[in-house]
Amino acid sequence: MSTNSDSQSKGRPAFKATVAHRNKVRLAAAAGMSHDKIAKGLGICRDTLLKHFADELETGGAEKMLENLARLEKAAKKGNVAAMKHLDAKFKVGTAAGEVNPEPKPKTGKKEEQQTAAEGAASGDAGGWGDDLKPNIRVVK
């Protein structure tokens, strides 16, 4: 009678994330793929993806965008006119969209939004109501 408890373990072997896996997850996150699709592409379940690649999922898109911007800048510095134009267009879009150091908006709930709207209406800043909230007084002579 032999026992193989030490030499054989039951179930699947533990997943080990590699550098290649991490790069794939960053790229997929940058492309906007869903977590389910990324997990399926790696042959793992969603929970395993979230456990092993949380950082890549969170920052992968930003990292890849910065890498591409650096490549564009390098090409532009070498005189690549197409890269210069593309980089310039990125700067204009970012500035127009307010993406350059955007101010975080304070989170407000429904009650706070309603209170702010009511205060604005009372002060004459009715936000689109125009003269609808002003009293309609007629002077008869």
Per-residue pLDDT of the chain (141 residues; tens, 9 = 90+): 555 555 566 777 888 999 999 999 999 999 999 999 999 999 999 999 999 999 999 999 899 999 999 999 999 999 999 999 999 998 887 666 665 555 666 677 778 877 777 777 666 555 555 566 566 666 676
Helices of type H across 12-125 = 19-30, 35-42, 46-52, 54-77, 81-96, 110-122
Q: pTM here? A: 0.53
Question: Can you give the residue ranges of every domain in the chain?
Answer: 19-96
Distances (CA, A) of 120 to 16, 91, 107, 115, 137: 57, 35, 18, 9, 21
Taking the C-alpha atoms of residue 63 and residue 101, their distance in angstroms, rounded to an integer, is 17
